[in-house]
Every structure is written in structure tokens, then in C-alpha cells.
Chain A
Amino acid sequence: MEEQTLERTVTLGSKSGLHARPAAIFVQTAREFQSQITVAKNDKSVNGKSILSILTLGAKQGDQVVLKVNGNDAQTAVKKLATLLEEDLG
């Protein structure tokens, strides 16, 4: 598979925004992929595999975040991670 960069803007679905539990689920899933993953809100872009960085975004339900994935498994990663962000993870 060839390396590619994919970007998607998603609206956060979790009631509590990116609180510890949804953030942990996201980070754990992100780590299953080799691709580099970043999540950005407004102008701040952070490592999607780092729970501390994700938490510092302070993202709430309904906020728009930009998911950017770069690597060999970008296609699958972006699909799975975007779905996670849109779902209500509690």
C-alpha cells in the first residue's frame, strides 16, 4: 500500500466531548495504526496518539476537529477514527 495523507473534518459526537474515556478509546485505536495521526482544533494541532495532548484541546460535543492521517494505513485509519469521533463514546 502506498503512503498517503488524508484529512477529514468531523463534528464531535461524545456527550462529554473529548473527556478521559472517549479520549482514551480514541488514542488506543489510533495506536493500532502505523500512520502519523494528528487532531486539530482551531489552530492547535496535536499528536493523536497522545492522550495528554488530546485532552489539552479541551474539545466539547459539537466542536469541529480536523483529523489528519499520514502513512501506509491512512485509508483505514481515517475511516475508523472519524467514526469514533462522531460516535457518542459517553
Chain B
Amino acid sequence: MKILRGTPASPGLAIGSAHTIRPAPPVDIIARRTTDASEETARLEQAIAQAITRMETLQSAAQGATADILAAQREMMDDPELKQGAIDLIEEGFKAEAAITRVATSYAEQLASLPDEYLSARAADVQEASRRIVAELQGVTLTVQLDHTAILVAQDLAPAETVGLNPSLLQAIVTETGSATGHLAIVAQGLGIPAVVGVTDALFQVTEGATLIVDGDQGTVTIDPDQESRAKIEQRLMASLQEKKDLEIYRDRPGTTADGVHIEVFANIGSLAEAQKAVEMGAEGVGLFRTEFLAAQGLPTEEAQYTIYKDVASALQRPLIIRTFDIGGDKPIPGLDIPPEANPFLGWRGIRLALDRPEEVFLPQIRAILRAGATHDVRIILPMIVAPDEVELARTLTEQALQELEKQGQPARRVPIGIMVETPAAAVTLDQFRGLIDFASIGTNDLVQYTYAVDRTNSHVRDRARPLGIATLRLIAQICRAGIPVAVCGKLAGDIEAIPLLVGLGVRELSVPPPRVPVVKRVLAEKTLGEMEKLAKQAIKEY
């Protein structure tokens, strides 16, 4: 038995056998073949055919923007010039792996040098297509697919690599890199799958098929657990199963306090799979659809976005609040050149970037949302707002987009617009936004970070931030007095201790990861509104 430690990224407990995904070694681009040319060419052709078949399977499981990317990559694998170029190099004496990598790199360089940002971003697709062909040549599996229940152990998982995963077979995720707030953590939380990230050496320590216990609360991975640990785990699994069952009664009822005041319990999502999970967990709507995940491979087109928003809204059949791209220097987007910044959290991100580059970032997204609004209850929420004039500009652009759509004969509808309150500036002046916005949602993670001047990714200062400190609570109290409906969609919304305080201060909607929805409803039902107000009053120490 051996215990590895990492960062807890998604809560829960799992016991199962490990499925390891080992990264392909770098390709030696000067490697010479040891076989004759025709044999090496045959190897290459077979690898290309296999890579294409595998890609087609992946494509059938993908949706929206990811599906488009995979389609482009598949087409590239099938490119006659790519193949011929590689065959020529094989004739010259190169190994198939080296030949295909060289040709692909040359195309990638040509594409990268084009002035069109979209086309230059396709360079990454050629590299990926070639990487997949090389994987076939070397007999390494890149596509993460499960045909039996397992715990995935990988160096890291890219968004495209999680597409083909069947959530019902995936027991837990362990990765060597990654952070508690990274993409993988959010995906795992959304699907309710335990995850531990940042487990250095995991792939070195864990052999394929080994029995593992993953504790997503503690951040530990136990390899080959002994009898005693197993028994303990089984017991805890039974208990959590029972808890899940107990929570089922909350699924189909709306969130209410003990005295029957309705508090909406919404879900935070980032994908269609999570939208389905939200419905399954009894969310009354989606309070935060993080669209930046759709841009992991470059900004999706209006059409691709429209399809996704419509699909997600149809799956929900309840309100869907879409946050416009919250991107910036800390999350590079292929094809979108944002200069490196010393302080990306104080930099050119969120609405700032969107409004400065409307044709590229803001308008395609707004048009897609307005079009989805023709048939579904969708709403817009703007990130990183600090002043009303930003909303005025966003509104003007939205009106223009609406008129243009009407002129083009595209069905569209004006939708409610709200803002994220995640800066102290917006928090203390929210009353100034009256008449401009239909609702506000507090992003507590950022609000706490900006209030306490604490970078939440810096482990030296992380603990100095006080999510439930008086400063946070007083800001929330002030936000709630602005006369605008207020929601909370940050981490605090799902915190058992925080929920009564938030509601007591005046918050009327809580938006949390889908698996958390029933828990929030249970906590709400434990106290009356009056009791929560009293607790809140004590907590902010204003008498």
C-alpha cells in the first residue's frame, strides 16, 4: 500500500482500477528508417487510416465547437499532399514518424504565418493531426476512451480528450498537473466525479490496472490499499450513497426556506453534459454558463455558438444565463493575440477585451445568444464590470446586433441583461446600475480576491483571504440594498455555513455546481428567513 498526495479538485470518494494514459514521447525528427521505403510507407498509410477511424468515433461523440475542430483535424489527416510529402521524405530515408512530423510542421509554419488569425490558429490542428498519426505509428493511445469502469490516471487531460469519455464509466480522475480551479477540476465537479490533481509522479507510481482509492476531499490517492483501508472506504461509500438517497427528496422541489420563502437554486455549467446533470439534480435553471470552455481551441463562430446555446437551452427547458467570454491574459485562447501581462487578473480581460474588440469577441457571441433567445429563455451576464458606462456600451452593441439580425430576417429576441458583481467598484455602486440591468450575480471567488488583494493561486497568501469575513459580507449586504435582484454564483453559494448568511443578507438565487443543488436545497430548508436574517446581522457586526 502506498499513499500519494495531490490537490483536491473535485469532492467524492472512489475505489476502482487504474487506467493510465501515458503521453507520447517527443518525435525524433532526424530518425532514419531501418526498413525499406515501401514497408515504411505501408506503415504510414496504415497509421493514417487508423487515426482517421479513431477520429471519426471521437467526432460522433463531440458537440458544437469541439465537433468542428475534430472534423477539421480529420480532414487534415486525410490530406493527399500531407501524405505525399511524408512519402517523399520516407524515400529520402526518414522514418515514418519523422517524415509526417516534418511535413506537418512545415504546413503548421505556413499557416501560422498567415495574417488571418483564424487560419493561423489552424496550425495547432495540423500539429494535433500529426501527433495522432504518430501515436498510431507508435501504438500509443491518445484518445481517452473507457469500455469499462475505471479511474483515469494521466499527465493532464485536454478538453478535446475528455469529449469521448462516458461519465457513467469514469469513477475518478488523477492527474500529475493541474490546479484546483483549472479546467479539469471544473469539468469533474460538474459531472460529480472525484478528482485529485497535481499528483507528481502519478504515472510513475501507478501501474495499469492497479487498485486505487481516490479521495477527492482529502486529495489523496491510495495504491493497492490494504484490507483495513478497503473496509473503511466501503463504509464511507455506503454512507455517502445513503446521503445521496436522502437528498433525492429535494431534487424535485423548489428551494425554499423553512417558512416557505422561495430561493432559486440554479446550477453553474460549462458544457451540454453538465446541463443534463443540472436537470438530473433538480436545478431550477442555470445561473452561470461559462462560455470560455467553448473557446479552448479558439473563438467559436457565431453559428457554432448558436448551436451550442440552443442545444443547452433545449436540454434545460428552464432559464439559462450565459456569461459572455471571460477570457484574458491568464487563459490564452488560440488565434486571439493578447499580449502577456504582469497582472492578468487586473488586466485586459472579460468585458474589457470584449468591448475593445467587438467584431471579433463580443458581437458573434451576442448575435448567437439573441438568436437562441428567439426560441428559449436565455439571458446575458457580463463579466468584470466596474462602471455603468460599460453596460451602456454593451447594450448599444446588443441593440445594434438585434436590429441587424432583424434586417437579415434572422429570428432573434431582446433578452434580459445582467452583470457579474466581482469587483469592489461594482459592489459599492450597484445602485448606479438601476434601470440599466435586469439582475446581478456575485462572483464571490473574484470579489474576495479583489477585496482582500489576495491572488488565490498563490499558496503563500491564499489563506489570508476571508471568504466569509466582515469585508465580504458587508459588500454583499450593500449589493443587496441596490434594488436589483441579486444572485450568488461563486464558491460561497454552495458553502453550508455561507448559505444562511447570504440569504439573510438578501440574496434570492444561489447558483452552484450541479451535484451541489440538492445539498443547497436541504440547507435552505433548515432555517426560516427570519433566523437567517438574524444570523446575517450578527455576522456583519452592524448594530
Pick the interface stretch among A4-12, A48-56, A65-73, A74-82. Answer: A48-56
CB under 8 Å from chain B, chain A span 1-36: 16-17, 19-21, 24, 27-28
In the complex, whether A47 has a CB less than 8 A from a CB of chain B is yes
Q: How far is the CB of A51 from chain B (nearest CB, A)?
A: 5
In the complex, whether A62 has a CB less than 8 A from a CB of chain B is no
Residues of chain A lying within 8 A (CB to CB) of residue B68: 20-21
* B303 partner, pick from A20, A27, A90, beta carbons under 8 A: A90
Q: How far is the CB of A21 from chain B (nearest CB, A)?
A: 7
Given contacts A20-B68, A47-B81, contact A58 B116 (CB under 8 A): yes
Q: Which chain A residue lies CB-closest to B81?
A: A50
Q: Compute how far the CA of A90 lies from the CA of B301 in the bound complex, rounded to whole angstroms.
A: 9
Question: Do most interface residues of chain B lie in helix, strand or loop, or is the interface mixed?
Answer: helix
- Bitwise interface map of B from 73 to 88 toward A, beta carbon under 8 Å scored 1, else 0: 0011001111000000
Chain B interface: which size bin? 20 to 34
Query: How many A residues have CB within 8 A of the partner chain?
Result: 20
Residues of chain A lying within 8 A (CB to CB) of residue B375: none
Given contacts A21-B68, A56-B107, A56-B110, contact A51 B116 (CB under 8 A): no
CB under 8 Å from chain A, chain B span 14-35: none
Q: How far is the CB of B134 from chain A (nearest CB, A)?
A: 17
B75 contacts A24, C-beta separation under 8 Å: yes
Q: Compute how far the CA of A20 lies from the CA of B301 in the bound complex, rounded to whole angstroms.
A: 11
B122 contacts A50, C-beta separation under 8 Å: no
Q: How far is the CB of A39 from chain B (nearest CB, A)?
A: 12
In the complex, whether B353 has a CB less than 8 A from a CB of chain A is no
In the complex, whether B111 has a CB less than 8 A from a CB of chain A is yes
Residues of chain A lying within 8 A (CB to CB) of residue B80: 47, 49-50
Given contacts A27-B75, A56-B114, contact A20 B81 (CB under 8 A): no
Q: Which chain A residue lies CB-closest to B78?
A: A51
In the complex, whether B336 has a CB less than 8 A from a CB of chain A is no
Q: Compute how far the CA of A26 lies from the CA of B405 in the bound complex, rounded to whole angstroms.
A: 28
Q: Compute how far the CA of A44 lies from the CA of B118 in the bound complex, rounded to whole angstroms.
A: 20
B111 contacts A50, C-beta separation under 8 Å: no
Residues of chain A lying within 8 A (CB to CB) of residue B115: 58
B116 contacts A53, C-beta separation under 8 Å: no
* B72 partner, pick from A17, A24, A90, beta carbons under 8 A: A24
Q: Which chain A residue lies CB-closest to B109?
A: A56
Residues of chain A lying within 8 A (CB to CB) of residue B72: 20-21, 24, 51
Residues of chain A lying within 8 A (CB to CB) of residue B82: 50, 52
Q: How far is the CB of A57 from chain B (nearest CB, A)?
A: 9
- Bitwise interface map of B from 110 to 132 toward A, beta carbon under 8 Å scored 1, else 0: 11001110110010011000000
B119 contacts A58, C-beta separation under 8 Å: yes
Most buried by A among B68, B75, B126: B75
Residues of chain B lying within 8 A (CB to CB) of residue A27: 75
A58 contacts B118, C-beta separation under 8 Å: no
B126 contacts A19, C-beta separation under 8 Å: no
Q: Which chain A residue lies CB-closest to B303?
A: A90
B122 contacts A17, C-beta separation under 8 Å: no
Residues of chain B lying within 8 A (CB to CB) of residue A51: 72, 75-76, 79
- Bitwise interface map of B from 298 to 335 toward A, beta carbon under 8 Å scored 1, else 0: 00010100000000000000000000000000000000
Q: How far is the CB of A60 from chain B (nearest CB, A)?
A: 7
B126 contacts A52, C-beta separation under 8 Å: yes
Q: Which chain B residue lies CB-closest to A51?
A: B75
A53 contacts B81, C-beta separation under 8 Å: yes
A16 contacts B76, C-beta separation under 8 Å: no
B76 contacts A17, C-beta separation under 8 Å: no
Q: Compute how far the CA of A24 lies from the CA of B69 in the bound complex, rounded to whole angstroms.
A: 12
Q: Which chain B residue lies CB-closest to A90?
A: B303
Q: How far is the CB of B301 from chain A (nearest CB, A)?
A: 7
In the complex, whether B180 has a CB less than 8 A from a CB of chain A is no
CB under 8 Å from chain A, chain B span 169-210: none
In the complex, whether B71 has a CB less than 8 A from a CB of chain A is yes
Q: Compute how far the CA of A46 lies from the CA of B107 in the bound complex, rounded to whole angstroms.
A: 13
B118 contacts A52, C-beta separation under 8 Å: no
A55 contacts B81, C-beta separation under 8 Å: no
Q: Which chain A residue lies CB-closest to B71?
A: A24
Residues of chain B lying within 8 A (CB to CB) of residue A49: 80
Q: How far is the CB of A38 from chain B (nearest CB, A)?
A: 12
Q: How far is the CB of B111 from chain A (nearest CB, A)?
A: 6
Residues of chain B lying within 8 A (CB to CB) of residue A21: 68, 71-72
Given contacts A16-B301, A20-B72, A24-B71, contact A52 B107 (CB under 8 A): yes
Q: How far is the CB of A20 from chain B (nearest CB, A)?
A: 4
Q: Compute how far the CA of A77 lies from the CA of B253 in the bound complex, rounded to whole angstroms.
A: 61
Q: Which chain A residue lies CB-closest to B110?
A: A56
Q: Which chain A residue lies CB-closest to B108?
A: A52
Residues of chain B lying within 8 A (CB to CB) of residue A58: 114-116, 119
- Bitwise interface map of B from 122 to 147 toward A, beta carbon under 8 Å scored 1, else 0: 10011000000000000000000000
Q: Compute how far the CA of A16 lies from the CA of B118 in the bound complex, rounded to whole angstroms.
A: 9
The 3 A-B residue pairs with the shortest CB-CB distance in the complex, in nearest-first order? A50-B81, A20-B72, A58-B114
- Contacts A52-B79, A53-B81, A55-B119 aside, 19 further interface pairs with beta carbons under 8 A come to A20-B71, A20-B72, A20-B75, A20-B125, A21-B72, A24-B72, A28-B75, A47-B81, A50-B80, A51-B76, A51-B79, A52-B81, A52-B82, A52-B111, A55-B122, A56-B114, A58-B116, A90-B301, A90-B303
Chosen A-B contacts, 18 in total, with CB atoms closer than 8 Å, are A16-B118, A19-B119, A24-B71, A24-B75, A47-B80, A49-B80, A50-B80, A51-B75, A51-B76, A52-B76, A53-B79, A53-B81, A55-B111, A55-B122, A58-B114, A58-B115, A58-B119, A90-B301
Residues of B within 8 A of A (CB): 68, 71-72, 75-76, 79-82, 107, 110-111, 114-116, 118-119, 122, 125-126, 301, 303
